[in-house]
Amino acid sequence: MTYRKDDPESIQNMFGSIAKKYDRTNAILSFQMHRYWNSQLIHQVTESHNPESLLDLCCGTGEIAFTYLKKSKLPKKIYMLDFCEEMLECARQKAKKSTFNNHQISYIQANAEVIPLKTESVQSATVAYGIRNIKEPKNCINEVFRVLKPGGTFGILELTCPTNRFLQLGHHAYLKMVLPIMGRLLTSNKQAYEYLCNSIHSFVKPAAIEALLKKSGFEQTSQKKLAGGIATIIYGKKPLNIK
């Protein structure tokens, strides 16, 4: 099957096919580094305040949201949004096995370009490893700006291409040769991981995403490279006073 960003249904089907093995596969393919990257994303969006509400877009199996809840002593309101029902079901099952009963968790199956939440209704938002799969990222960013409360924070964590020449060579070889084969062995879906590899190479530079944040109205934007640029966090804050 061919997976294409301009065909959201095909991407939805792709993630549905690998949902149950997604966490285990990510842990193996990233050599567990994704756990550190996830924690850095949470730190980035919460260090200036302790948000009572968090919207996690393209939430997958809930790794970002649950990482935040594990560090939270006070009750939180979490919105977990994904367009893939199979991923959301995995998140629900994980929550049942946890001790998150004191938190309010909402599972929302929706397109991240049209967020079904009220304007200025959440304090922080995240999207990890997902914005490169969104057909029109600018629409998603505009929607996040809308639903964030003034002073709210937004963090994007994405797999990117390193700038160091030596790292580039190793990274390219890993994506093109190793990752698709491992993906096939671990999930029986080589095409899915070939798509994911190609999406990393074809995705716009982090600077372009930061520019979209600024255009949408975010301030104090920044980029933070992780593992030499293999992953990058792009951050922005909604102004307290909107002009």
pLDDT in tens, 117-166: 999 999 999 999 999 999 999 999 999 999 999 999 999 999 998 888 88
pLDDT in tens, 168-219: 888 778 787 777 777 777 777 778 777 877 888 777 899 999 999 999 999 9
Dihedral of CA atoms 40, 42, 48, 52 in degrees, nearest 10, equals -170
Domain 33-163+204-237, what architecture?
Answer: 3-Layer(aba) Sandwich (3.40)
Contact 218, 237 (CB under 8 A): yes
pLDDT in tens, 15-39: 888 888 877 877 777 878 999 999 9
Region 43-70: mean pLDDT is 95
Which residue is associated with the tokens 């939270």?
72
CA-nearest of 201, 123, 196, 206 to 157 is 206
Return the sign of the alpha-carbon dihedral for residues 92, 180, 158, 138: negative
Which residue is associated with the tokens 């096939």?
184
pTM score of the predicted model: 0.92
Angle at 62 between CA 57 and CA 68, to 5 degrees: 90
Q: Answer whether residue 242 shows pLDDT above 80.
A: no
Q: What pLDDT is recorded for position 1?
A: 58
Angle at 50 between CA 48 and CA 55, to 5 degrees: 100
Return the sign of the alpha-carbon dihedral for residues 69, 75, 79, 82: positive
Q: Answer whether residue 88 shows pLDDT above 90.
A: yes
Which residue is associated with the tokens 């260090």?
47
In angstroms, the CA 239 to CA 68 distance is: 23
Q: Answer whether residue 76 shows pLDDT above 90.
A: yes
DSSP state of 31: T
Angle at 235 between CA 233 and CA 239, to 5 degrees: 175
Q: Answer whether residue 9 shows pLDDT above 80.
A: yes
pLDDT in tens, 94-121: 998 887 878 999 999 999 999 999 999 9
